[in-house]
Structure 1
Amino acid sequence: MPEAQEILLKYWKHDSFRPLQKEIIDSVLEGHDTFALLPTGGGKSICFQVPAMMQEGICLVVSPLIALMKDQVANLQKREIKAIALTGGIHTEEIIDLLDNCQYGNYKFLYLSPERLQSDWILERIKNLPINLIAIDEAHCVSQWGHDFRPAYLKISEIKKFFPKIPFLALTATATPRVIEDIKKELALKDTKFFQQSFARENIAYMVFNVEDKLYRVEQILKKNPQPSIIYVRNRKSCLNISTQLQSLGFRATYYHGGLSSKEKDKNMQLWMSEQAQVIVATNAFGMGIDKDNVKTVIHTQLPENIENYYQESGRAGRNGGKSFAVLLTSSSDINQTEQQFLSVLPDKKFLNTIYVKLCNYFQIAYGEGLDDSFSFKLNHFCQKYDFPTLKTYNALQFLNQQGIITMSREFSENITMQFLIESKEVIRYMSLNSGDEEIILAIVRTYPGIYEMKVPFNLSLIAKKSNHTEEQVTAVLEKLREKEIIEYKSKSNDATILFNEVREDNLTINRVSKYLERQNQLKKDQLSSVLHYIKEDQTCKNRLILDYFGEKTESNCGVCSYCITKKGKITDADSIADKILSLLKSASLTSREIQSQIKLDTNDVILALQELLENNYITIQSNNTYTLKS
């Protein structure tokens, strides 16, 4: 059998392993069930890929992420290693051919989702494969207390009956102590060898800043740190808006979200990877399989849903070991808005039942029928037809997807993309000559400020509502503008595919999974509370707060986070700055930007001085984000 280091050098061109990789590989080769908790960037895939290559047979990899499976298979194939992924949308005949290849074609890796293991005939075929290792990626999904629980993961332990001597390797980047114990139990791991790398990222400075003008602060950060950066936002509209605003400020910026076509994703990704763009503004659709080691700064301009996601996303900074920053920008209105928005989109049992019944009616599925029926699906149209709130509906459908009741393609995209091909002054001239189209065009321009520079995802129903027209009237104007070559306009026929995995049984279906929904909703509320605690707690090192969340205790502060910098007294003549601020505020109420421009000192020093004055009740902040003396 070849040595692990020989395999690593031959196929991955590395001559040494990262911390714990070799120990995990040795544990697997010795036949032990193994649990590897390696934070983002720790090199989890090597831990099963190398031992699989050292032995005869094929490695079975269970993963919940289609994009990650495709990425890993493509990377293995580049190294001339034979790998296959059974992703969604593959017909039965093709699956049979792929499994034949696994059995007779000397393949080394078979990737599949946990839902695939619920098909008895697929399981029968897998039982006859020469499996040498079973790797469970994103193993936190097996835990009902994990941040992305998927019930199909609970079935994985059944494979042990067929391969009692083949080791299980559970891998995850984020798991609390409670989740760790749950994973061991649900996967039926025996005499488990446990390997955990510290969650501490000593080269990352965790910063939390309360600011009124987030764009202004982002501008300052990017000017001070001109290296590659990521800005994470919560929705697609923010992606485009912030990217456009940064471009107007002179930054080379691009954006990435799940609604872009594969071609656009690849193009924007390459702009950033090749550093033709300094910054990429992205939703959490960006990041899986991305390994750019010189990211200097990761900025979150909106609150993350949980600490697990925040840790993973911020952990994409500083993978080369260099000093880097994870910055979370908040404002006084963020917390209330986030709590209200978050709670309003959590589906309860009654809403879930309504969505399921209406979904079946929408596709005219009769009670007791629907198994294996597949349909094109337009989320916006479905929500408009039944007057459902879009995000809450999407969350309900996602829950049905996670429970395996339906399979919903993740490739949601806007129905329409659009871009003006003429300059803004020519658009104004067109409106003056075609007053009947003016209200619709004005609504478009005001809603999509970047529409002159790039193609934007276009919400037909939103523009119809804003312009007080019907969708048909808006579409007619768009067609006219396209014919006159004023716009580039592309319309798609559907934005998702839904496959029904069970016959329709209405209440019986929903009652079976409702306990998971209640538990998931409570978990999400608890996780949001942890995020708010991380933001509000101003008497503890930010690094220690993160470590404590993951059950890792430390007595020492990191020395580089926003809390530690404040306590180190690194403010330039702090008392003097405070005195100057108080003097300015005697004349008028001012924003932090106005104060900074008059004092002409480092923004961080001014902000920290303002925070000290707020904490000591010398000043207060008003609803218009100006500071004033406390009366």
Structure 2
Amino acid sequence: MDALTLLKKHWNHDSFRTPQDAIIQSVLDGKDTFALLPTGGGKSVCFQIPALMKPGICLVISPLIALMKDQIANLQKRDLKALALTGGISADETIDLLDNCQFGNYKFLYLSPERLQSDWVLERIKSLPINLIAIDEAHCVSQWGHDFRPAYLKISKLKEFFLKVPFLALTASATERVQEDICTQLGLQQPQVFKKSFARENIAYMVFEAEDKLFRIQQILTKNPEPSIIYVRNRKACHEVSAQLNTLGFKSTFYHGGLTSKEKEKNMQVWLDEEAQVIVATNAFGMGIDKPNVRTVIHIQLPENLENYYQEAGRAGRNGEKAFAVLLLSPSDIQTTKSQFLDVLPDKAFLKEVYLKLNNYFQIGYGEGINESYSFNLNQFCHQYKFPTLKTFNALQFIDNQGIISLSKEFSEKITVRFLLDSREMLRYLSLNPADEPVLTAILRNYSGVYDVDTSINTSLIAKKAKASEDEIVAVLKRMQQKEACQLKTQSNDSTLTFNEVREDELTINRVAKFLQQQNELKANQFASVVNYVSDTSECKSRLLLTYFGETNASDCGNCSVCIQKKKTPKSPIETAESILTLLQNSALTSREIENSLELTSEETIFALRILLENNKIRIDNFNQYSIV
């Protein structure tokens, strides 16, 4: 079956986007390939189609568990067999999954780069019939990339074992320096390079100064009632902004990493089905989201870097229709954001202290701890050791990126159970409750100690084995608890923390300290680029973005906030004052209503009102409304 037929059959598209077909052909020709496709460019199809056209299995290396899950779910919907090997999976489960790859006719194996650090996992992968190695989010391999992960450097070792297997490196955001570094670090042999321009001609990039951001959002959403995304920095802001919008009459929902999987799915579906116009989200939202008719993406706080901003803004207008990427800026934002991003970066001494206390917190001895997993509450940890929360989170995120630990950002519920019946009584219980048998049998087969000690249950694993939902697992255990047949504890926690290495204290931290300093400098430079983007009032916003990504020959877009301002014929204060007087003949209005009606800036409005007040042409009442004298 040829590539286009497969595309029609599984993805229901009649044609490829440029340069998807050329990338696919390069891979089919057995060539190492580098593809830079900005967000929405359809990267996954570039490895999924050629993998389906060849015998064997495609190895996909990705750093993001949520993205792996999303892609696997999408493949399974299309009746394509795929599975993932992520951190936190036991050795037995890993062996089962790899057996499935070898003998179960699977076409895609997703794994995190840290998994390649296990020699026995690498040995098993070497025995698989690999037909293509795809490296997603390939900027993580570069020390100059915005998400450098040293584990990605191990990928080049696969070249030694799969000499004739093509490598395909994919990224959505990489500067020229990062692009070159990716090809070098992965050991790509004479790679075919494909780059799609970062230009999104249908997106108008807007930066507006706004003291009252909620009012400006209200204006934007009223004018553009199509689906919208509002990005905020933290979970609290998600709830607050969404609630405020609902109060103003806009149907809104929210999405962040602290929601359960069900809540995330439910809220996202409400927005996808357009039962809500707006989804207010942290940067946890967006991976794998391809809603074509998003009209507006609004950032109400400064992003950390232009790479992230470009990706998030690029979720607007994927249907090719006119769309808006709006960034709202208040006077204090730059200093506030600097203190939130740069002043909380950990140095080597703080990193070492956090790592030592983390091991002490879980009572891990020197030389121990590898592959141990624990439920982890960041706030409790910080409270116990009097650590600043954000700086501590950054330290943990850094050692997570270095592969020392794995910290799941997803909310989870830990379930601990202990059966109070002996084995003979359990048989009687099963005969009286036959509907519960598949769940309880799966637990007994996988957790032999469940009669003796409180045992943590992986509900996802049991659900798979029992062919039931996770809700059904919990319901069965709750029924047992009511009948005093088991002890059941459920504990909500922010994340799961897994130690990927033995504890070696200073040796561990000294090994990664040079990367810490390098990344701190990189983040400072990236933030300076963000400040330049929002502060420059003379350069086209689209050109500023394109120049940052190495496209230096771009022309002005004509539709960003700067270009529109250049096109405007500036009104003199006298003309503005006359327009205001004409408007006020109909009714008394507030300054905001005047500004909105005449499409003025707040500065223009205030200056003209001041002239009119000083000349006794208008007056202001107790309700802050202006009227003609």
TM-score normalized by structure 2? Answer: 0.81
- 1:606 counterpart = 2:605: no
* Contact 1:259 1:414 (C-alpha < 8 Å) held by counterparts: no
d(CA) in 1 for partners of 2:189, 2:267? 45
Deviations 1:148-187 (A, max 9, x none): 1111000000000000111100000000001001101100
**Deviation for aligned residue 1:407:** 1.6
d(CA) in 1 for partners of 2:19, 2:603? 40
Deviations 1:535-592 (A, max 9, x none): 0011100000000000002352100000000000166x565554469999xxxxxxxx
Q: Which residue of structure 2 aligns with residue 362 of structure 1?
A: 361
- 1:189 counterpart = 2:225: no
- 1:64 counterpart = 2:63: yes
Deviations 1:108-148 (A, max 9, x none): 10000000111100100010111110000000000111111
* Contact 2:411 2:495 (C-alpha < 8 Å) held by counterparts: yes
Q: Which residue of structure 1 aligns with residue 453 of structure 2?
A: none
Residue 205 and residue 101 in structure 1: after superposition, are their counterparts in 2 closer, same or farther (change >3 A)?
Answer: same
Q: Which has the larger radius of gyration?
A: 2
Specify the code of the residue in structure 2 equivalent to 1:595.
Answer: S
Deviations 1:53-108 (A, max 9, x none): 01111100000011111111111111111111112332111111111111111111
**Deviation for aligned residue 1:498:** 1.6
* Contact 2:136 2:171 (C-alpha < 8 Å) held by counterparts: yes
Specify the code of the residue in structure 2 equivalent to 1:256.
Answer: Y
Q: Which residue of structure 2 aligns with residue 110 of structure 1?
A: 109
d(CA) in 2 for partners of 1:291, 1:373? 36
Q: Which residue of structure 2 aligns with residue 486 of structure 1?
A: none
* Contact 1:297 1:317 (C-alpha < 8 Å) held by counterparts: yes
Specify the code of the residue in structure 1 equivalent to 2:593.
Answer: S
- 1:89 counterpart = 2:74: no
Q: Which residue of structure 1 aligns with residue 130 of structure 2?
A: 131
- 1:326 counterpart = 2:321: no
Q: Which residue of structure 2 aligns with residue 595 of structure 1?
A: 591
Specify the code of the residue in structure 2 equivalent to 1:549.
Answer: Y
d(CA) in 2 for partners of 1:328, 1:527? 17
d(CA) in 2 for partners of 1:558, 1:330? 21
**Deviation for aligned residue 1:34:** 0.3
Deviations 1:248-283 (A, max 9, x none): 101101110000111111111111000000000000
Q: Secondary structure at the match of 1:527?
A: helix
Q: Which residue of structure 2 aligns with residue 12 of structure 1?
A: 11
TM-score normalized by structure 1? Answer: 0.81
- 1:534 counterpart = 2:529: no
Deviations 1:315-361 (A, max 9, x none): 00000000000000000011111112222211110000000111111
Q: Which residue of structure 1 aligns with residue 287 of structure 2?
A: 288
**Deviation for aligned residue 1:597:** 2.3
Q: How does 1:263-274 map to 2 (within 5 A)?
A: 263-274=262-273
**Deviation for aligned residue 1:599:** 5.8
Q: Which residue of structure 2 aligns with residue 543 of structure 1?
A: 542
**Deviation for aligned residue 1:501:** 1.7
Q: Secondary structure at the match of 2:521?
A: helix
d(CA) in 2 for partners of 1:521, 1:583? 54
* Contact 1:40 1:315 (C-alpha < 8 Å) held by counterparts: yes
User: How many residue pairs end up in the alignment?
Assistant: 529
| Most deviating of 494-503 and 516-525 | 494-503
d(CA) in 1 for partners of 2:6, 2:606? 54
Q: Secondary structure at the match of 2:169?
A: strand
- 1:393 counterpart = 2:392: yes
d(CA) in 1 for partners of 2:579, 2:330? 20
Residue 161 and residue 561 in structure 1: after superposition, are their counterparts in 2 closer, same or farther (change >3 A)?
Answer: same
Q: Which residue of structure 1 aligns with residue 616 of structure 2?
A: none
Q: Which residue of structure 2 aligns with residue 44 of structure 1?
A: 43
d(CA) in 1 for partners of 2:606, 2:515? 42
Specify the code of the residue in structure 2 equivalent to 1:597.
Answer: E
Q: Secondary structure at the match of 1:344?
A: coil
Deviations 1:9-63 (A, max 9, x none): 1111111101100000000011110000001110000000000001111100000
Q: Which residue of structure 1 aligns with residue 556 of structure 2?
A: 557
Residue 389 and residue 579 in structure 1: after superposition, are their counterparts in 2 closer, same or farther (change >3 A)?
Answer: same
Q: Secondary structure at the match of 1:601?
A: helix
Q: Secondary structure at the match of 2:66?
A: helix
**Deviation for aligned residue 1:594:** 4.3
Q: Secondary structure at the match of 1:522?
A: helix
Residue 127 and residue 555 in structure 1: after superposition, are their counterparts in 2 closer, same or farther (change >3 A)?
Answer: closer
Q: Secondary structure at the match of 1:280?
A: strand
d(CA) in 2 for partners of 1:577, 1:237? 44
Q: Secondary structure at the match of 2:493?
A: coil
Residue 532 and residue 147 in structure 1: after superposition, are their counterparts in 2 closer, same or farther (change >3 A)?
Answer: same
Residue 555 and residue 362 in structure 1: after superposition, are their counterparts in 2 closer, same or farther (change >3 A)?
Answer: closer
Q: Give the % identical residues.
A: 66
**Deviation for aligned residue 1:413:** 7.0
Specify the code of the residue in structure 2 equivalent to 1:393.
Answer: T
Q: Which residue of structure 1 aligns with residue 496 of structure 2?
A: 497
d(CA) in 2 for partners of 1:577, 1:601? 15
d(CA) in 1 for partners of 2:188, 2:577? 62
Residue 574 and residue 319 in structure 1: after superposition, are their counterparts in 2 closer, same or farther (change >3 A)?
Answer: farther
d(CA) in 1 for partners of 2:284, 2:606? 34
d(CA) in 2 for partners of 1:576, 1:223? 30
| Most deviating of 326-335 and 376-385 | 376-385
**Deviation for aligned residue 1:411:** 1.6
Q: Which residue of structure 2 aligns with residue 506 of structure 1?
A: 505
* Contact 2:173 2:307 (C-alpha < 8 Å) held by counterparts: yes
d(CA) in 2 for partners of 1:313, 1:191? 32
d(CA) in 1 for partners of 2:172, 2:70? 18
Q: How does 1:323-472 map to 2 (within 5 A)?
A: 323-412=322-411
Deviations 1:180-200 (A, max 9, x none): 011011001111100000100
Q: Secondary structure at the match of 2:374?
A: strand
- 1:311 counterpart = 2:328: no
**Deviation for aligned residue 1:369:** 2.0
Q: How does 1:563-582 map to 2 (within 5 A)?
A: 563-569=562-568, 573=571, 576=574, 578-579=576-577
d(CA) in 1 for partners of 2:38, 2:351? 34
d(CA) in 2 for partners of 1:354, 1:275? 47
Residue 414 and residue 522 in structure 1: after superposition, are their counterparts in 2 closer, same or farther (change >3 A)?
Answer: farther
**Deviation for aligned residue 1:513:** 0.3
Specify the code of the residue in structure 1 equivalent to 2:597.
Answer: L
Specify the code of the residue in structure 2 equivalent to 1:243.
Answer: S
Residue 358 and residue 599 in structure 1: after superposition, are their counterparts in 2 closer, same or farther (change >3 A)?
Answer: closer
Specify the code of the residue in structure 2 equivalent to 1:164.
Answer: L
Q: Which residue of structure 2 aligns with residue 260 of structure 1?
A: 259
